[in-house]
Structure 1
Amino acid sequence: MKQYLPLAAIAALGLLSACNNNDQPEVVGGPADPMAEQLKNAAPVELPPSVKVSRQYRCKDNSLLFVDFMSDDKTAIVRTTKEGSPTKLTAPEAGQPFKADGGYEVSGSGTEVTAAFAGKAAQSCHV
């Protein structure tokens, strides 16, 4: 037991020596933010919508249509091939047809939609 007493004293001294004995003041608040007033008065930030559901449709002419419906219910991203270039379609109100320049239009968002693209007649497409 007497052999452990000096080891315990050395360990306690080691722990005490780790304490901060620095006399420097600690800065808690930090420097003032130069843009604090601008940020306080800034308009709220609206995040872009996320993908709500992605669906692959088979159309009446046997073509495929890939649609990502977004969480704002007013945006859809359409591709005619799986890795094709996306086309963003928007609707003025939720539940109305999604449209884009060039004659792109998609009506509906469930398991069956009606799609018209670049001068082609509208056709029904289903999951």
Structure 2
Amino acid sequence: MTIRTTLLALGAVLTLSACNKDDHTIVEQGPVDPMANELAAAPKVELPPSIAASKTYRCDGNKVVEIDWTERNGKPAGANYRVGADTVASTVTMAPAEGTGPYTGPDGSSITGTKDASSVTVTVPGQSAITCRA
């Protein structure tokens, strides 16, 4: 019993002697950020538009078009579309003045219609326009 008490006391003394007795300085602001000025001067980051609706359309010539209609701040921003299963998705954006024309893409593609319309007209570069129904 005496050995057990002695070992317990010795363990407590060793544990307490391991404590660091140095002074600690707590800084409220934390370390200085070397890029703080650059980050403050950086332009605001604009997130991509969110998907408002995803629809699949059946078109003339038995084609299928998948369109993801996008919005930014509750207003139409454009669409990402794919004609058929084996094609790469393309992007079209809203006309500069909302409601003045179709969504157009940099490659010459366009979509006339809205996410709420029952039919849209899709024009792909090098092909004639096709009418599609939801």
1:20-99 aligned within 5 A: 20-22=20-22, 28=27, 29-33=30-34, 35-72=35-72, 73-92=76-95, 97-99=102-104
Percent of residue pairs bearing the same amino acid type? 29
Unmatched tracts of structure 2, length 5 or more: none
Measured in 1, the distance between the counterparts of 2:98 and 2:7 equals 75
Amino acid at match of 1:124: C
* CA RMSD across the alignment: 3.2
Amino acid at match of 2:31: G
| 1:108 and 2:114 are equivalent in the alignment | yes
Calculate the TM-score normalised by the size of structure 2. Answer: 0.66
SS of equivalent to 2:40: helix
Unmatched tracts of structure 1, length 5 or more: none
Measured in 2, the distance between the counterparts of 1:112 and 1:77 equals 18
Which consecutive segments of 4 or more residues in structure 1 shift more than 4 A?
1-4, 25-28, 93-96
Calculate the TM-score normalised by the size of structure 1. Answer: 0.68
Q: 1:22 to 1:60 in 2, by over 3 A?
A: same
